Amino acid sequence: MNRLLLVSVALLAMSAPAFGADITIELHPSAEGYPPGYDTSLCRNNGSAPCVVFSGKITDTDTDGSYLLLESLALDPTVPADSYFTVDSTFYNDVPGPYSGDPTWATDLLGNPSNTYSGLIFGLDFAADTPPGIYDGMAIFTGAGGDGDPGYGGFTVDVPFQVDIGTPEPASGLMILAGLLATGAARRARRSRPSQPC
């Protein structure tokens, strides 16, 4: 029972958005597989390494019109799985830095930046010889500003992610096993039949 509760809590934590200061960062989905089901040129690595890309939504939750700046992204060095990955330039190329705590930014004509972004958030490169497996990692976003950090002292937001490298899905493995068993049974049946004289 305790083990089931622990697994349930872990799964809930992996799917929950990360909060920091006045910002939420959600990955949709929080787990990606390699080989991916999309064009790897999204990784911005010119095809030099295997990669995965995470998409999602970033929201400035302020409503007071203050500004917030997302500045950088790094992997948590205390998480062993993160040593297999390097952050590519997706975050710096695609994610806007400034956000405003102005939920009506699009219609109030004040010129404030958006309070939300949806799209590519970050990409991870890894070596081609990375062992197959499921890797749990932690992305650390650094920012400053907003209502919760008015002096721009800085804050971090930790966002968990998971990368599945080359691990076949259970259904795929079962299909392969069923195919091998059927082939073996057909060969055995063919050998056990007496040959007919011509």
Write out pLDDT tens, residues 9-57. 333 344 445 545 689 999 999 999 888 766 666 665 444 578 899 999 9
Query: Is 147 part of any domain?
Result: yes
Query: Is 197 part of any domain?
Result: no
Indicate the burial class of 53 (C-beta count within 10 angstroms; 0-12, 13-18, 19 or more): buried
Query: Is 78 part of any domain?
Result: yes
Query: Is 198 part of any domain?
Result: no
pLDDT at position 163 is 94
Q: How many structural domains is the chain composed of?
A: 1
Confidence of residue 73 (pLDDT cuts 50, 70, 90): very high
Which residues, 6+ apart, have CB-to-CB distance to 61 below 8 Å?
19, 22, 23, 24, 101
Query: Is 180 part of any domain?
Result: no
Helices and strands (DSSP H and E) totals, the chain: 3, 10
The answer to whether the CB of 54 falls within 8 A of the CB of 27 is: yes
* Enclosing domain of residue 139: 2-167
Residue for token digits 């999309």?
Answer: 38
d(CA 110, CA 63) in angstroms, rounded, equals: 14
Average pLDDT over the chain, rounded to an integer: 77
Query: Is 162 part of any domain?
Result: yes
Query: Is 191 part of any domain?
Result: no
pTM above 0.75, yes or no: no
Query: Is 152 part of any domain?
Result: yes
